[in-house]
Structure 1
Amino acid sequence: MSRDALILIYGILLLLILIPFSSAEEGQEKIDSSLAEIIERGGSEEIPVIVMLRPDEDLPSDSMLADEGISVKYRYQIIPGLAGEATGQAIDGLAKDERVSGIYLDRSTMIFQSDSPASAVQENETDRANSSSPPENSTLQEQAFDSELSLEGYISPAQVIRADRLWEKGIDGRGITVAVIDSGIDKNHPDLVGKVVAEKNFLSDEITADDLLGHGTMVAGIIAGSGAASGGEYRGIAPGADLISVKVIDGQGDGKVSDIIAGMEWAVYSGADVLSLSLGGINLGETNPPITTAADNAAAAGVVVCVAAGNRNSSENQATVAKSVARSSSSSNHVDSENAESGYLESLAQLMSGREHGEKEDDAVRVLQQGGSEQQDVLLLLVPVVVALPPGLIDSPGDGVKVVTVGAADSSGRMAGFSGSGPTRDDRIKPDVVAPGVDIISTVPAGLKRPVYVDDYYARESGTSLSTPVAAGMAALLLQSGDNLTAAGVKAAMTELSGRDL
């Protein structure tokens, strides 16, 4: 046998050895690391997953996927993908499908609250810092305030940002709908009666849409509470706004990414103008996992999406003043929204009533020109973060590009020690703004074990969970006061104008 023939035979044998190995590795880069670790452990149990598809692609029917070991829970419109459960073998098969761009573990998330709110003010005042990262499954009771903390001299978030100046002009959020993506809302609370115009429960283990945790009701009160039970003292930022209750967090403070994405999608199609998401803890290790993509896509479709920066600031210096650039606001800033996107995003936007995807933002500050300094005053404490802040983790979906990521400050404008301060994993500056989030009093359902009540109707807490609805309420005021102001325009107004001299 000639030398050339031997080389050919050896080459063929080598290919036969490598082809199965290559086939086994095909598509593995599409499986995120957390999911890959579970698959490597073996076992035949189904794993909760979210499958991201390439634009304009789709997978077979639910029944056909079931035959392949994949049970479908949701097929999304807000992202190109679906959620469900699949065996490890089925996941490996999906990874080899050219239509699939990524497969993620459907991870648990949690509400964002600080673990020691009562000490947050003292830490800020004395510039002392102790790590205040909350435990993964911390409860509201563990995060409770000292019940003896004085209420004397309390200043509500609405007072801090001077929202009353806009209320006097008839700008109170009327005609704007804010969706609270959280643990539900107590519709019977005196401050929230008649506020909830739609509700939906996405949890399989709780049959009621009622708030069994108290967190969603607190968020709702900050946004649109009437203050009826307090003589107006604890009125929300936009008391004229309507609310949509989207229950994705259970009575223990836990939720699933797949439910949150479905909740966001439902809220968008139900006509929400603003989404408020005081949740996170996902930490998928990427800048655009499914939930971040969903949040950004909601914003691209014309909805203002306000997201908590999180309470995982691990810095030793947690008492940074959230400064801003001080300039005259006599001239207008022109900010263009991003070009219209193709494929499913464009279709999503066209389906939304009253919104045109890709519209230009002729003047992002026009809303503030109509009312002079009174309207500018409301932006006093929603300041853009333009100085180097201590590093603190920003979790999904707060790492989104188009969302408004909100950090927490005390009533004097000092950055809260617990507040996530960025940057993101890809070195973008976050949060976009900070708002009051320390020592906040708001509405809660009666009779729950976890909130620390200041009276029968209100409780006190700290966290970026509480600063996020301040920004969401402010977005409602801006949308009401500015004709045709888009989501991009609202974010521009918050981040570009809020730090100017008033």
Structure 2
Amino acid sequence: MKLLKSIFAITTSFIMLLSTAQSVSYSAPNKNEIAKPSAVNAEMNKIHPALRAVMKDSSQDIVSVIVAKSPNNSAVDTAKLLGATVKAEWEFINAFAIDIKASMLDELATLSDVYMITEEGHVMSTKEKDEGTTDDKVASPFDGSIIENAFNASVKADKVWEKGYTGQGVTIAVLDTGIYEGPNSDFNKRLIKSVNVNPNASNGADKYGHGTHVAGIIAGDGKNSGGKYMGIAPDANLISVKFADDNGMSSEMDLLNALQWVYENKDEYNIRVVNISSTLATKQRYQESMVSAAVELLWASGVVVVVAAGNSGYEECSTCHAPANDPFVITVGAVDDNGTKSTDDDYEKPWSSSGETMAGISKPEIMAPGAKIVSYMPEGELKKMAKGNVENNADYFRMGGTSMAAPMVTGVVALMLEANPNLTPNQIKYILMHSARDYVSINKEYLQSLSREELDALDIDNIDPQYLEVAMSIPGIVSADKAVDWALKEEVIPSANMDYQINPILTHSDDSVLHNNVTWANVTWANVTWANVTWANVTWANVTWANVTWANVTWANVTWANVTWANVTWANVTWANSFDY
């Protein structure tokens, strides 16, 4: 049960290796550190070290892997000849997923059209356990004074509504367990599309509840509560991309299917924001992840990607899970608003993942309320797991985790884009980070002296003031009113991500990237700003992976010897069923 408990907190993780199943030691390297190629043969370099360990122990077992390839289909055809079952293909990142006997991987790796082979991961939710105005704008009809949730006031969304911005005209894709589609819902006609990309799900309906809860935080209008429980952007449009099955289970393949659907349909539905309240289970660098490559494509094409940081704050390298570890997303950590509309008593939750990634990137970039959040959930398996969390109005449910914090920021992004539709993802990220407000931080040494049970039950009102201090640096708590005011200013807005390397999966051997006839061969990536590029017509069909080998990654500080794969039974992994955060 300990293993299962550490895996699925619906709040912010996608596909994270169970914390008790993997022990990884690391030291944060330079953010763009690339080691010189080793003398290992080229075929071995193509296979991820963790997968190599599986091959050594269980060569006759069938393994699920994802293969990066050249744009042609020769690698897929050869895999079939080697007895593989092809489960999915993703043209947008030139990759495919297969089930294949482990002993066949070395032969597959000899193909020149195969560039990288990784084990398919599983997705972990980040729900925590147990628990500026223009002349033609008028104040919105939403009344912040009757709202019972504290988070709307905590992030100052009610102040933005007074200026007339409610997310109208902005479309958000929620990649999750689905969104409730019943009549007279808190979304009604603003849920403009529901799709299901998980072959194991019966349909696109949310039978689990997590996705609906997330969507309610983003854009619920509170109709079924008389306006008491309302989302951040109550006029925004929603698209549900269900990638988890009816029991909340999903894999890396399912997430990639969801990301591909968004990439292929973003223009038709004017998708400007994507919310991902989950992470991969495996700890890795973002430069090694197919999911990270996929979210970077969305970011580069003008779609803001908001991701939960995860609920592994008690672990080493808690921010080392894709896509939360990628610099080209907005990663969100969780604070507790203490159940009050005052902003003076908000404090960081110790279970919220934070720290440096394996690539040396500080995460998260922004914080938002993520504890004891009430949101719309008229039905779903989660309600059966924690009946005590059902509110007096049975259509609403209390839950916590970074899964709940991420949609807060997603809603704020929608408010910003309504105010200024010309903002780029990098500009939005910069504004959010530099307009955030301070919060109360708890002394780290004091936290380390507490047991896990004491940490989970921590209440700022019962902490000796000597252990409390004001967190003055990034990340701060998202401030919707300041962010929207900044978005409305008639001035050049700086861009975030000026000094980060794009995923090498997307680059050529000469450090160039092809974007519809735009070649970046002479660019120094440390100085690249995506904000200066128009990506509307980007075509990724010609992107190659030829220069990406595991020999170019610094693995010296990663200890794989402690990974025990035989004891991990993914079929038994379930979402966390405690809801007291």
TM-score normalized with structure 2 length: 0.60
- Residues 149 and 374 in structure 2, CA contact (< 8 A), matched pair in contact too: no
Cα separation, 2, equivalents of 1:488 and 1:44: 46
Residues 369-448 of structure 1 correspond to what in structure 2 (within 5 A)?
392-411=318-337, 412-446=345-379, 448=381
Consecutive unaligned residues of structure 2, counting only runs of 5 or more, are 1-38, 132-145, 338-344, 439-478, 483-581
Aligned to 2:292: 292
Identity of aligned residues (%): 30
Q: Distance in 1 between matches of 2:399 and 2:245?
A: 19
Measured in 2, the distance between the counterparts of 1:417 and 1:468 equals: 16
Residue 155 (1) aligns with residue 153 (2): no
Spell out, residue by residue over 1:437-480, the C-alpha distance to the aligned partner (whole angstroms, 9 max, x if none).
11100011326313531131011011000000011111111111
CA contact (8 A) 1:174 1:480 kept: yes
Structure 2 distance, partners of 1:422, 1:96, is 38
Tell me, in whole angstroms, the C-alpha distance in 2 between the residues paired with 1:30 and 1:251: 35
Q: CA deviation at 1:169?
A: 2.7
| C-alpha distance in 1 between matches for 2:334 and 2:385 | 22
Q: Give me the whole-angstrom Cα distance separating, in 1, the residues matched to 2:66 and 2:174.
A: 23
Corresponding residue of 1:74: 88
Instruction: Indicate yes or no: 2:187 matched with 1:261.
Output: no
* 1:303 Cα deviation after fit: 0.5
- Aligned equivalents of 1:447, 1:286: Cα separation in 2: 34
**What is the CA–CA distance in structure 2 between the aligned matches of 1:63 and 1:302, rounded to whole Å?**
34
The residue that corresponds to 1:276 in the other structure is 275
**Which residue pairs with 2:448 in the alignment?**
none
State the alpha-carbon separation in 1 of the partners of residues 330 and 91 from structure 2.
22
SS, match of residue 65 in structure 2: strand
Q: Secondary structure at the match of 1:280?
A: strand
User: Helix, strand or coil for the counterpart of 1:476?
Assistant: helix
Change (3 A) 1:478 1:236: same
Structure with bigger gyration radius? 1
1:306 is aligned with what amino acid?
V
Contact 2:198 2:242 in 1 (8 A): yes
Give, in whole Å, the separation in 1 of the partners of 2:172 and 2:276.
11
Shift of 1:164: 2.1
Q: Distance in 2 between matches of 1:423 and 1:400?
A: 11
Cα distance between partner residues in 2 of 1:391 and 1:93: 34
Q: CA deviation at 1:265?
A: 1.7
1:483: how far off? 3.5
Paired AA for residue 107 in structure 2: G
- Is 1:85 aligned to residue 85 of structure 2? no
2: distance between equivalents of 1:475 and 1:106?
31
What is the Cα deviation at residue 45 of structure 1?
4.6
Q: Distance in 1 between matches of 2:150 and 2:101?
A: 50
Equivalent residue number for residue 50 of structure 2:
34
Whether the 8 Å CA contact 1:78–1:298 is kept in 2: the answer is: no
CA deviation after TM superposition for structure 1 residue 286, in Å = 2.5
1:72, CA displacement in angstroms?
2.4
Q: What residue is the counterpart of 1:204 in the other structure?
A: 199
1:131 corresponds in structure 2 to none
Q: Which runs of 5+ in 1 are unaligned?
A: 1-22, 118-151, 316-389
1:184 equivalent in structure 2: 178
Structure 1 distance, partners of 2:58, 2:75, is 27
- Could you tell me how far apart the structure 1 residues matched to 2:426 and 2:84 are? 38
Count, aligned residues: 371
Q: CA deviation at 1:26?
A: 4.2
1:43-62 map, 5 Å: 43-53=59-69, 57-60=71-74, 62=76
Q: CA deviation at 1:25?
A: 5.1
Equivalent pair of 1:111/1:254 in contact (CA under 8 Å): no
8 Å CA contact retained: 2:148, 2:229: no
Aligned CA-pair RMSD = 2.6
Q: 2:429 pairs with 491, 497, 501, which one?
A: 491
Q: 1:265 to 1:93 in 2, by over 3 A?
A: same
SS of match in other structure, 1:197: strand
TM-score, with length taken from structure 1: 0.69
Letter in 2 for 1:307: V
Alignment equivalent of 2:247, drawn from 247, 252, 260: 252
Structure 1 stretch displaced more, 35-44 or 162-171: 35-44
Q: Secondary structure at the match of 1:274?
A: strand
Deviation at 1:61, TM superposition (A): 7.3
Q: Shift of residue 68 of structure 1?
A: 2.9
Query: Does structure 2 conserve the Cα–Cα contact (< 8 Å) formed by 1:443 and 1:457?
Result: yes
Aligned with 2:225 (options 230, 233, 244): 230
| CA apart distance, 1:171 | 1.2
Q: 1:228 is aligned with what amino acid?
A: K
Structure 2 CA distance for aligned equivalents of residues 445 and 94 of structure 1: 48
Structure 2 CA distance for aligned equivalents of residues 475 and 430 of structure 1: 19
Task: Give 2:390's aligned amino acid.
Answer: Y
CA 1:313–1:487 in 2, change beyond 3 Å: closer, same or farther? same
Secondary structure of the corresponding residue to residue 52 of structure 1: strand
Distance 1:190 1:252 in 2: 22
Which of 1 and 2 has higher RCO (CA within 8 Å, sep 6+)?
2
Task: Please name the residue that 1:351 is paired with.
Answer: none
Residue aligned with 2:363, SS: coil
Q: Give me the whole-angstrom Cα distance separating, in 1, the residues matched to 2:206 and 2:411.
A: 20
Q: Which amino acid aligns with 2:109?
A: A
Q: How much does 1:404 deviate?
A: 0.2
CA distance in 2, matches of 1:299, 1:153: 33
- 1:268 is displaced (CA, Å) by 2.7
